[in-house]
Amino acid sequence: MSTPSIYLQMISTVNESGELRLELVEKPVPVPDADQVLVRIEAAPINPSDQGVMFGWADISAAVSSGAGQHKVLSAPVSEQGMRVMKARMGQALPVGNEGAGTVVATGSGGLAKSLEGKIVAVMGGSMYAQYRCVDAASCLPLLEGHSAKDGASCFVNPLTALSMVETMKMEGHSALVHTAAASNLGQMLVRICQADEVELVNIVRKEEQAALLRDMGAKYVVNTSSDNFMAELTDAIHATGATLAFDATGGGTLASNILACMEAAAARTPGAYSIYGSVKHKQVYLYGNLDTSATVLQRAYGMAWGVGGWLLPNFLAKAGMDVAARLRARVARELKTTFVSHYTNEISLEEALDADTVRQYYAKHTGEKFLICPQK
Amino acid sequence: MSTPSIYLQMISTVNESGELRLELVEKPVPVPDADQVLVRIEAAPINPSDQGVMFGWADISAAVSSGAGQHKVLSAPVSEQGMRVMKARMGQALPVGNEGAGTVVATGSGGLAKSLEGKIVAVMGGSMYAQYRCVDAASCLPLLEGHSAKDGASCFVNPLTALSMVETMKMEGHSALVHTAAASNLGQMLVRICQADEVELVNIVRKEEQAALLRDMGAKYVVNTSSDNFMAELTDAIHATGATLAFDATGGGTLASNILACMEAAAARTPGAYSIYGSVKHKQVYLYGNLDTSATVLQRAYGMAWGVGGWLLPNFLAKAGMDVAARLRARVARELKTTFVSHYTNEISLEEALDADTVRQYYAKHTGEKFLICPQK
């Protein structure tokens, strides 16, 4: 198969007139430097984190598509508030797609680069919603024999995030975890990791069908926010596991505060001297997602030893260091079809990803639905 | 002066019928163990942190006093919500008063204890709203020659908190500070510490008279929340100082969130690649007080590298270790009449501290007003 001289890449732009545009642009196929490889991207997932860059604060309910084929353009209006928040990206054409996988079709002259010739590799680093991507050979994760690009498309964001939650737990002196939006693709990975590593995990979901799904996987602690006894049930599960660290994908509302309140109530079950400042052990909730964009509301009825904050995979990996990152990557490649298996409900082309109705479908982020972009389709 | 066999101690109790009682009880004067000393408490400040234990969630506007002399009792009703929050202290007679100072009137046989005979010492460790207190000799901070118990009554809570803010800044990799309720007694100490240590400090106040007070002290950055341009002025000050750490005494409302938003806006002034995840440098707000008991509302428009959490002096000192604590204590004794000077507007007896109208006066925590209990009065 010969490599073309031009490829298509998806970019997102917010312009001064209050419009977000998502479109395909033609780029010259680059020639790899000595330590680089050229990857023909064959599969790239649409993660919530990709959609942050793709759509920002645009009003997707009012999005429309125009044009056809590679000239299709998605356009969506942006409110005044959205324009203020996105001021820093105004006019910049941002390439999208955090991760993907494909075949190495050209390499530089370096040893590592040449060793990847013809291999199927997973890659992270942006600009993945494209037909080709030139990357450093060292950043590639070669898949095991027999694994396809579709198998390896989601090697990084969800698997490394789930693994890094457990690493964070260990690094910061906690011994069990609470996870919200726990029936998600990432949540299911975390259930499997915690089962394998014998880490106690409290799964919080919103619906009974999600609870059933996790229980079928063997999850021991599943708590449903729609239960009338949610707070009591969560306190029981936290008391049973001793969890003092939670990862919350929703971000907004009172869920983080409620988790802290239940951690404090669980701690108070252990008899000890009363202190107006609450329990001494630090209780932490990290907000790693933004499914609920409303304000985070903290009731602060859980003493003084607590924290809430943003959590971001690249920031964690930078702090944890290269050795930890390499260990986690190797585990992902090894357990790609088991612990880290992803299920895609829809496979779409770059052009289909710009169709307004399709966009609204994946923008809704329904549990169990996951879209895969196949740029060669 | 001979030591009596009985002394008075102030205790606070919440009982099942929804009443908070603050009263004086008689206790036998203890005989010090080998490594202990008996301190005749001559001065003890009323800090906001003392009032948490004294009054909890009781309704002080409806408090009444009854009885006279040492039999005076303050009684205040507690709402159902307050009873739920204070469940863990139900029925317990809690002694109050975190810190104080006085004369060592009896000692154990140990060398350190004996060396303190007749000295004026500052002490921390609870039960200080009392005529006598027996403590470990090692926990005493002997005052320098010529310093009185009134001079040393507030050696710990405010001075160590202010010093520990600067220590936290250094330990956690920040280079400047933001402080709210900055005209408080503690805030003024922090201004003097930062001037001496050449640490840039952004002072946030609510009123122009508070801003004037701090400017008169030589504070360089003072921002008033009641200004129409508060957010822009705070962003300017944060940009000028590079502050990425704030200590907030109010706790509730949107102030912590606004500080983070200004830190992010200040970071965005430095040109760099746009990231939907915001600036990379971690931005932190610690809530160390509770002047505003409403919920903390976080708008989360400041990327992912941020944290908000409780901050408590004893927890910090436990983490920082004995050497740091000893260094900070020595500085307090040395600079007691300069950096760490406290001004008291009212000196009251134990009995007067139970008078409902007096309670309402100090409960209001007006800036510039500070009460000192003189248990020998």
Q: What is the per-residue pLDDT across A257-302, written as a single tens digit (0 to 9) for each?
A: 999 999 999 998 887 777 888 899 999 999 999 889 899 999 998 9
Q: Among A88, A296, A315, select the one facing B305 at the smallest CB separation.
A: A315
Residue B13 touches partner A, C-beta closer than 8 Å: no
Residue with tokens 């004037």: B212
Which candidate from B85, B304, B314 shows the least CB-CB separation from A315? B304
Give the closest-approach CA distance of B325 to chain A in angstroms: 19
Task: Please tell me the predicted confidence (pLDDT) of residue B180.
Answer: 97
* pLDDT given at position B16: 93
Apex B327 CA angle, B325 and B331, nearest 5: 115
Mutate one of A79, A280, A296 to test the B interface: name it (highest B CB count within 10 A). Answer: A296
B55 shares contact with chain A (CB less than 8 Å): no
Q: What is the mean pLDDT of chain A?
A: 95
The answer to whether residue B272 scores a pLDDT higher than 80 is: no
Over the stretch A66-105, which tens digit does the pLDDT of each residue have? 999 999 999 999 999 899 888 888 999 999 999 999 999 9
The minimal CB distance from A309 to the residues B274, B306, B310 is found for B306
- So what's the pLDDT on residue B161? 96
Tokens of A13: 């732009």
Q: Distance between CA B153 and CA B147 in Å, rounded?
A: 10
**Subunit contact B315:A280, Cβ cutoff 8 A:** yes
315-374 in chain A: CB under 8 A from chain B = 315
Dist CA B224 CA B206 (whole Å)? 5
CB atoms within 10 A of CB A239: 17
Residue A313 has pLDDT above 60, yes or no: yes
- Token digits of residue B69: 């002399």
Q: Give the residue-averaged pLDDT of A326-330.
A: 94
Contact B297 A301 (CB under 8 A): no
CA angle B325, B331, B333 (to 5 degrees): 105
Give percent helix, percent strand, percent coil of chain B, each to the nearest 5: 35, 30, 35
- Which residues of B are less than 8 Å from A287 in CB distance? 300
Q: Cβ of A277 and B311 within 8 Å?
A: no
- pLDDT of the residue at B239: 97
Contact at 8 Å (CB) between A236 and A202? no
Q: CA-CA distance, A223 to A108, in Å (whole number)?
A: 52
Name chain A contacts of B315, Cβ cutoff 8 Å: 280, 304-305
Report the pLDDT value the prediction gives residue A1, as an integer from 0 to 100. Answer: 56
The answer to whether B309 contacts A307, with C-beta atoms less than 8 Å apart, is yes
Q: Which residues of chain B have a CB within 8 Å of the CB of A305?
A: 310, 312, 315
Sequence-distant (6+) residues with CB within 8 A of B101 are: B41, B42, B43, B44, B120, B121, B122, B123, B143, B149, B150, B151, B152, B153, B155
When pLDDT is cut at 50, 70 and 90, the band that residue B1 belongs to is low
pLDDT at B88: 82
Mutate to test the interface with B, among A94, A248, A276 (most CBs of B within 10 A): A276
- Give the minimum alpha-carbon distance from B141 to chain A in angstroms, rounded to a whole number: 24
pLDDT value at B85 more than 90: no
A97 touches chain B (CB under 8 A): no
A305 contact B CB<8A: yes
Task: Please give the model's pTM, rounded to 2 decimal places.
Answer: 0.90
CA B148 to chain A, closest CA, distance in angstroms equals: 31
A295: nearest CB among B277, B297, B307? B297
Q: Spell out which residues of chain A touch residue B267, defining contact as CB-CB under 8 Å.
A: none
ipTM value of the model? 0.89
Instruction: For tokens 């154990």, name the residue.
Output: B108
Give the mean model confidence (pLDDT) for residues B340-356: 95
pLDDT mean over A370-377: 96
Q: Which of A284, A304, A311 to mutate to test the interface with B (most CBs of B within 10 A)?
A: A304
Q: How confident is the model at residue A367 (pLDDT cuts 50, 70, 90)?
A: confident
Instruction: Say if B295 is an interface residue toward chain A (CB within 8 Å).
Output: yes
What one-letter code names the amino acid at A224? Answer: N
| B270 and A CB contact within 8 Å | no
| Segment B136-161, tens digit of pLDDT | 999 999 999 999 999 999 999 999 99
Dist. CA B186–CA B165, nearest whole Å:
11
Model pLDDT for residues B202-220, shown as the tens digit of each residue: 999 999 999 999 999 999 9
Identify how many contiguous H helices and E strands chain A contains and give both numbers.
12, 20
Residues in chain A: 377
Q: Judge whether A85 is closer than 8 Å to chain B, CB to CB.
A: yes
Average pLDDT, chain B: 95
Is there a contact between A297 and B296 if contact means CB atoms under 8 Å apart?
A: yes
Higher pLDDT among residues B88 and B35, named by residue: B35
For residue B353, what pLDDT is reported? 97
The pLDDT of A183-207, averaged and rounded, is: 96
Task: Name residues whose C-beta falls within 8 Å of residue A99's C-beta, 6 or more positions apart in sequence.
Answer: A44, A45, A47, A122, A123, A124, A125, A128, A153, A154, A155, A156, A157
When pLDDT is averaged across residues B121-126 and rounded to a whole number, the result is: 93
Q: Would you call A309 and B309 a contact, using CB atoms and an 8 Å cutoff?
A: yes
User: Do residues B129 and B185 lie in contact, with contact meaning Cβ atoms separated by under 8 Å?
Assistant: no
Six token digits for residue B42: 């001559």
Burial class (CB in 10 A: 0-12, 13-18, 19+), B62: exposed
Q: Are A344 and A8 in contact (CB under 8 A)?
A: no
Residues B69 and B354 sit within 8 Å (Cβ to Cβ): no
Report the C-alpha gap between A251 and B307 in whole angstroms: 13
- Residue A301 contacts B, CB cutoff 8 Å: yes
**Per-residue pLDDT at B366:** 83
Give the count of beta carbons closer than 10 Å to the beta carbon of residue B140.
23
- Chain A / chain B CB contacts < 8 angstroms: 93
Q: Where do the DSSP E strands lie in chain B?
A: 6-15, 19-28, 36-45, 64-66, 73-77, 94-95, 99-107, 120-124, 132-136, 141-142, 176-180, 200-205, 221-224, 245-248, 251-253, 283-287, 292-298, 306-310, 346-348, 371-373
CA B288/CA B75 separation, integer angstroms:
28
Whether chain A has a CB inside 8 Å of the CB on B196: the answer is no
pLDDT digits (tens, 9 = 90+) for A29-38: 999 999 999 9
